[in-house]
Structures are given as C-alpha cells and as structure tokens.
C-alpha cells in the first residue's frame, strides 16, 4: 500500500480524532437536502478488508449510515445539509437498544458529530472539525460557543444549532477542518 493512501480503519481513526461531539445537530429542518450521490457502499482507497460504510435512504430526513468494521455494525442517522452553499454531514448514533438494561441505556446521551462533505461521482470526501483549531479559536475568542472540556482530548459542545452553524462556517473560512478522508464508491 502506498504511504500516501490509508486504509478505512486509518481513515475512520483520523475522522474520529476530528470528532467533536455536540449535544445539538448542525441542521435546522430547512437546511436538509437529499444528496442522491451519497447512497451506496464506500471503502477506503486500497482497502483490502471487509470494512466499509453504507448509506441507505430515499429522502433528506431518512438517510442511514451503517459502518461495517471488524465484523461489527454501527448505525447512524445521517443528514446532509447545506449552509451558505457548503455541504455538511451530521451523524447521530442510533440509540442503544441491545446493550444492558433500560436503566443502563438511560445513562448514555446521544450526541452529534459533523463533517464537511464533498461528493464527487465515485468519491466521498469528509473532513472533521479540527480540535486544535477549535481550542485555539476559543482561546482567542474567535468563536463563541458553549462547551464542556471532558478531558484533555474531548470537548463537548453544548451550544444550540444556530451557534454551531456560525462556528462551522467560521471554521470553513479559517481552515478549521482536518485533512480530508477519501472514500471510494464500491471500493473501486
């Protein structure tokens, strides 16, 4: 494998390191769009294994992402939205239904993550919010959001949607998204 190309696992880990969870979604219902080009199976370039992402759904509020990784499946509500002409993907994991008791499941708070999105024919391009950029922007008071620093590597954004949208657009304008992860349709 070429050193410039990553496996899906590496791509996922890179995106996950750019995961900045939020309590609220990045979208309002009017921001949602249906992106027909996202439907299908996506793999990392030169991905040798059985790991992949699959998007299914027929409407702007009916998109599901299933991540197949190491023989496990994870399901997310996925929403494509447009802000000022820029596409984003908002992900929210399905509720825990099969894990532990109802009491146990009640201790988990669903969060959202969002990514800048590009769909180019047979390429899906994702870029997550860069945590280093966000911390620096907060320190310099360049963005105004409410958050809770859970630990050194995890910040939870608690601002409502309107503030998230302002922050996301500021991040676009000032290089606040991480390196792109590229997935190829059907692994080709």
SS3 110: coil
Asked if residues 68 and 52 have their Cβ atoms less than 8 Å apart, the reply is yes
Q: What are phi and psi of 133, to 5 degrees?
A: -60, -45
Q: What share of the chain is helix, strand, coil (3-state, %, to 5)?
A: 20, 40, 40
Per-residue pLDDT of the chain (188 residues; tens, 9 = 90+): 333 334 444 444 444 555 789 999 999 999 999 998 999 999 987 666 788 999 999 888 889 999 998 888 999 999 999 999 999 999 999 887 777 788 887 888 889 999 999 999 899 999 999 988 998 999 999 999 999 888 877 889 999 999 999 999 999 999 999 888 899 997 54
pTM value is: 0.87
């Amino acid at each position: 494998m070429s050193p410039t190309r990553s496996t899906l696992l590496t791509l996922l880990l890179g995106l996950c390191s750019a995961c900045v969870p939020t309590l609220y979604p990045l979208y309002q219902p009017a921001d949602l769009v249906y992106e027909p080009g996202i439907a299908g199976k996506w793999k990392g370039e030169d991905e040798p294994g059985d790991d992949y992402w699959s998007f299914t759904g027929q409407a702007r509020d009916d998109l599901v992402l299933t991540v197949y990784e190491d023989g496990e499946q994870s399901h997310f509500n996925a929403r494509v939205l447009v802000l000022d002409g820029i596409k984003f993907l908002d992900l929210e994991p399905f509720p825990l239904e099969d894990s532990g008791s109802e009491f146990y499941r009640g201790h988990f708070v669903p969060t959202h993550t969002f990514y800048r999105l590009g769909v180019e024919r047979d390429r899906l391009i994702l870029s997550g919010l860069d945590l280093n950029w966000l911390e620096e922007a907060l320190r310099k008071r360049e963005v105004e959001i409410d958050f809770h620093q859970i630990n050194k590597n995890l910040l939870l954004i608690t601002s409502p949607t309107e503030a998230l949208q302002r922050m996301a657009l500021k991040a676009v304008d000032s290089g606040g998204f991480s390196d792109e992860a590229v997935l190829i349709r059907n692994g080709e």
